[in-house]
Amino acid sequence: MKGESFLSKNISGFTHTLESVIMAEDLSKAPGLLQRLDPRVKVATFVLFIISVGLARSLWVLSIIFALVLILSFLSKISIGFFLKRILLFIPIFTAVIALPALFITPGSPLVTIASKVVITEQGARTAGLLFLRVTNSLSFGVLLILTTPWPNILVALRWFRMPSLIVDILSMTYRYIFLLLHNVNSMFLARRSRVIGSFSSGENRRWLTRTLATVMAKSQHLSGEVYLAMLSRGYQGEVRVLSDFKLKRRDILWMAFALLAIVSILLWGNRL
């Protein structure tokens, strides 16, 4: 049925999102290479990696960096297929669409010609490739950091680097509210499906979806006030306290040495190859 298909697709989508989030939480606790590192070390080195990716101007170097990310993913007990789906389905594809015009409008040496007319230039292909690889590598490092580090530990690391507590608190609450929003919407879709006998038109489905979104937003606003009052009653004074006590270990020192060596190599050779 039409209405059944509409509901089934949405229920399946929300459920899949919840399952992927739960899997990500499990991956951050796996006995992999990156999971064992100090979160502060990972945040600092990954930020430096992303900066170095933005400065590199060599397609070969950017390709080697992507291969390094895949190796780190494998050593961190993350399925390569799962990792590639996370990074190649959205932003890089969108970036590739943006980069496509550069293939045809960038002047330079001819690479592809049709009917004696230059269609693609070498400079255009290089520009499009650089944009695509830079975005893909930067996104890969960000996803790898999130998959191998529990979210509270990332927030603690950000506070250690003196990020304002207000920003950290907003990030923390936003992350948790995403779960709550998905759970509420999924429950509402399941409740409607259990009460549906016939099919609904597209207009009726859109109206119901609009009412559902409005209800979820109202519930979220009401709950945010209750959560804030609960935080105040438990001693909240603008700073979130956690029980984690991070200590640098030998593997953290070795990782920092490796990361700095890799970053220096990228900066030295990123504009030469």
Residues 37 and 121 in one domain: yes
**Least confident piece of the model among 22-36, 64-78, 242-256:** 22-36
pTM reported for the whole predicted model: 0.75
Residues 20 and 139 in one domain: no
3-state secondary structure of 110: strand
Residues 75 and 1 in one domain: no
How far CA 73 is from CA of 10, 84, 136, 143, 192, in Å, comes to 31, 10, 14, 10, 40
On the 0-12 / 13-18 / 19+ scale of CB atoms within 10 A, 73 is buried
Please give the mean pLDDT across all residues of the chain. 78
Residues 23 and 37 in one domain: no
The pLDDT of residue 272: 63
Name the β-bridge partners of 118. Answer: 113
Residues 112 and 193 in one domain: no
| pLDDT, greater one: 171 or 108 | 171
Please give the single-letter amino acid code of residue 29: K
The pLDDT of residue 81: 85
Binned at pLDDT 50, 70 and 90, residue 3 comes out as very low
Residues 179 and 220 in one domain: yes
With a cut of 90, say whether residue 50 has pLDDT above it: yes
Residues 25 and 159 in one domain: yes
H or E element: which one contains 77? none
Alpha helices in the chain (DSSP H): 2-27, 39-55, 59-75, 80-88, 91-105, 122-148, 151-160, 165-195, 202-233, 250-269
Binned at pLDDT 50, 70 and 90, residue 226 comes out as confident
The pLDDT of residue 118: 52
Range of the domain at 260: 33-149+244-273
On the 0-12 / 13-18 / 19+ scale of CB atoms within 10 A, 264 is exposed
Tell me the per-residue pLDDT of 56-106, one tens digit each, with 9 for 90 and over.
Answer: 888 889 999 999 999 999 999 888 888 887 787 766 667 767 777 766 666
Residues 70 and 134 in one domain: yes
The pLDDT of residue 13: 60
Number of domains composing the chain: 2
Residues 2 and 49 in one domain: no
Secondary structure letter of residue 184 according to DSSP: H
Residues 3 and 107 in one domain: no
Mean pLDDT of 247-262: 92
Binned at pLDDT 50, 70 and 90, residue 229 comes out as confident
Contact 259, 49 (CB under 8 A): yes
Q: Kindly report the backbone phi and psi dihedral angles of residue 110, in degrees, each rounded to the nearest multiple of 5, phi listed first.
A: -65, 135
Residues 39 and 132 in one domain: yes
Residues 145 and 257 in one domain: yes
The pLDDT of residue 255: 94
The pLDDT of residue 131: 84
The pLDDT of residue 129: 83
